[in-house]
């Protein structure tokens, strides 16, 4: 999380610093209206700047994954940028509309405007000024659409399949806001470093929006496949789906995930890969019935059904210099560790590993598979069933692994559980860099 927090605040600081350099002239008369004009420009710069960065992240650029810690972290940054863009846009709208309301109510008196001649302006600035009325009008409606779409994206109860379709329209809204910003941003900004940065951000965001609208996101990383087997574990409400891929899949590392499309109307869903890559096109996913889509998979999927896989993504790949590793898988968060154990059974690694799996449900067939995978990988398995063994916490892990201080911790499971473990381990002396957490939440 450190890298994405740093990236978020650095972007805001950089845009603010460049804006201050571009607009450092103090107005001759300091009053509400002069300050309003300044902050309308500032909120507009921040709003379109962070939205552009969010659009760039939406196309899932592979080269950014190592810098930001994986696509799961990139999506968290994408969410923060979306919220920041929403806050900036609301502030921008209030400065514009709120002032008009206060003038209409008689709370403020607008100062008289001096004469303005367009004859002294260059042809580009004249052209932009001629579009101001249109830019203001479409920008207002785009703002309303953006507020509604971003709000729906933040409501977890809103079904994922509807979220994906509606979120797609943010690309259109973004393109309208780019036009609004290009016309209404202070013309002198364009000849400053701020203008250069904003031009790059908006150009990149525009390309990203067009990729999203044309369905080109991840197109070069897709492979077709066919379901070859389905195994359901009723006590766990878990479905294991084995797929045979056609040529085109470049392989994956244990701990990575992929976007899977089994129903075009539903769209792609991200799932952690539960198998090691052997080069034979065989890939396995384990999904738990946690929502509308995953609850229906058991009835909807059939052997022989075609599927599309996009990926792999993620940096939760167990690579670190520590000789000992502690794995913690909460519920369905056991999946990346299953994949890694299958990988280690084929190619043993250098680490001494303790795997803690805590679950509220128990099914002997699934546990027997997990135990067999652990034996084959030479991993020491600690199984805890909540009703029988109680809750797992950092203290229990440290008691079971006295050498914990020289280990790295790898966690996948409920985010609040991982956050509590992280805080406890770091408070006890574990280095922050030695705690790795998959944030498997795409919205």
Q: Looking at residue 347, which CATH number applies to its domain?
A: 3.40.50.80
CATH assignment at residue 305 = 2.40.30.10
Q: Tell whether 250 and 300 lie within a shared domain.
A: yes
Residues 13 and 88 in one domain: yes
At 293-335, the pLDDT tens digits run 778 888 899 999 999 999 999 999 999 999 999 999 998 999 9
Q: Residue 359: CA atoms inside 13 Å, Cβ hemisphere, count? A: 22
Query: Which of the residues in the chain have pLDDT under 70?
Result: 24-26, 114-120, 442-443
**Which run of H or of E encompasses 287?**
strand 282-288
| Same domain flag for 404 and 348 | yes
In this prediction, residue 25 carries a pLDDT of 65
Last residue within a domain, chosen from 280, 313, 346? 313
Residues 58 and 158 in one domain: yes
Q: Which domain holds residue 97?
A: 2-110+120-213
Q: Is residue 318 part of a domain?
A: no
| Distance from C-alpha of 190 to C-alpha of 345, rounded to nearest angstrom | 58
Decide if 115 is inside a domain. Answer: no
Residues 187 and 288 in one domain: no
Is residue 226 located within the same domain as residue 330?
no
> Which of 153, 181, 213 is the C-terminal boundary of a domain?
213
Which of 213, 239, 266 represents a domain boundary (last residue)? 213
Q: Is residue 265 part of a domain?
A: yes
The answer as to whether 378 is a domain residue is: yes
Assigned domain for 443 exists: no
* Centroid of chain to Cα 270: 12
Instruction: Give the count of beta carbons closer than 10 Å to the beta carbon of residue 392.
Output: 21
Q: Are 412 and 72 in contact (CB under 8 A)?
A: no
Indicate whether 103 belongs to any domain.
yes
Alpha helices by DSSP H, 185-291: 193-213
Position 387 in a domain: yes
Say if residue 345 is in the same domain as residue 379.
yes
Model's pTM, two decimal places? Answer: 0.89
Distance CA 67, CA 414 (A): 24
**402 falls within a domain:** yes
d(CA 165, CA 243): 26
Q: What is the CATH number of the domain that holds 30?
A: 1.20.120
State whether 12 and 96 are in the same domain.
yes
pLDDT for residue 361 = 85
- Residue 424 and residue 330 share a domain: yes
CB-based contacts of 45: which residues, under 8 Å, 6+ apart?
15, 19, 185, 189, 194, 198
Residue that is written with structure tokens 């070859």 in the block? 228
**Do 301 and 166 share a structural domain?**
no
Number of domains making up the chain = 3
pLDDT score at 201: 98
Residues 202 and 347 in one domain: no
Please tell me the distance from the alpha carbon of residue 442 to that of residue 272, in angstroms, as a whole number. Answer: 12
d(CA 410, CA 425): 12
- 24 and 79 assigned to the same domain: yes
pLDDT at 119: 56
């Amino acid at each position: 999380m450190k890298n994405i927090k740093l990236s978020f605040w650095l972007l805001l600081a950089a845009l603010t610093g460049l804006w201050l350099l571009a607009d450092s002239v103090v107005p001759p008369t300091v009053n509400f209206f002069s300050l309003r004009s300044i902050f309308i420009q500032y909120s507009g710069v921040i709003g379109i700047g962070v939205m552009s960065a969010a659009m760039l992240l939406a196309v899932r650029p592979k080269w950014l994954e190592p810098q930001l810690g994986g696509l799961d972290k990139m999506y968290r940054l994408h969410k923060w940028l979306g919220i920041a863009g929403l806050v900036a846009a609301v502030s921008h709208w209030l400065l514009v509309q709120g002032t008009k309301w206060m003038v209409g109510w008689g709370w403020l008196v607008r100062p008289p405007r001096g004469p303005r001649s367009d004859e002294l302006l260059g042809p580009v600035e004249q052209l932009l000024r001629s579009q101001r009325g249109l830019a203001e009008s479409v920008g207002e409606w785009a703002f309303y659409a953006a507020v509604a779409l971003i709000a729906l994206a933040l409501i977890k109860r809103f079904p994922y399949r509807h979220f994906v379709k509606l979120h797609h329209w943010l690309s259109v809204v973004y393109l309208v806001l780019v036009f609004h910003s290009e016309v209404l941003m202070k013309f002198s900004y364009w000849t400053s470093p701020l203008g250069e940065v904003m031009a790059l951000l908006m150009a990149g965001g525009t390309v990203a929006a067009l990729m999203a609208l044309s369905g080109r996101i991840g197109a070069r990383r897709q492979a077709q496949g066919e379901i070859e087997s389905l195994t359901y574990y009723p006590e766990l409400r878990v479905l294991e789906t084995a797929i045979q891929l056609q040529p085109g899949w470049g392989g994956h590392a244990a701990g990575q995930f992929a976007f899977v499309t089994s129903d075009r109307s539903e769209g792609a869903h991200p799932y952690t890969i539960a198998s090691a890559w052997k080069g034979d096109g065989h890939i396995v996913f384990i999904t738990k019935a946690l929502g509308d889509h995953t609850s229906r998979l058991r009835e909807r999927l059939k052997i022989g059904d075609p599927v599309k896989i996009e990926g792999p993504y993620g940096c939760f790949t167990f690579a670190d210099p520590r000789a000992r590793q502690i794995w913690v898988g909460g519920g369905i968060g056991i999946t990346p560790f299953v994949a890694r154990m299958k990988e280690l059974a084929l190619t043993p690694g250098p680490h001494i590993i303790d795997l803690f799996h805590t679950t509220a449900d128990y099914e002997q067939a699934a546990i027997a598979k997990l135990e067999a995978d652990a034996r084959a990988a030479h991993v020491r398995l600690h199984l805890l069933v909540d009703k029988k063994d109680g809750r797992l916490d950092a203290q229990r892990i440290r008691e079971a692994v006295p050498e914990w201080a020289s280990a790295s911790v790898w966690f996948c499971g409920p985010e609040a559980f991982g956050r509590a473990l992280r805080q406890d381990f770091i408070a006890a002396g574990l280095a922050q860099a030695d705690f790795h957490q998959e944030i498997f939440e795409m919205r």
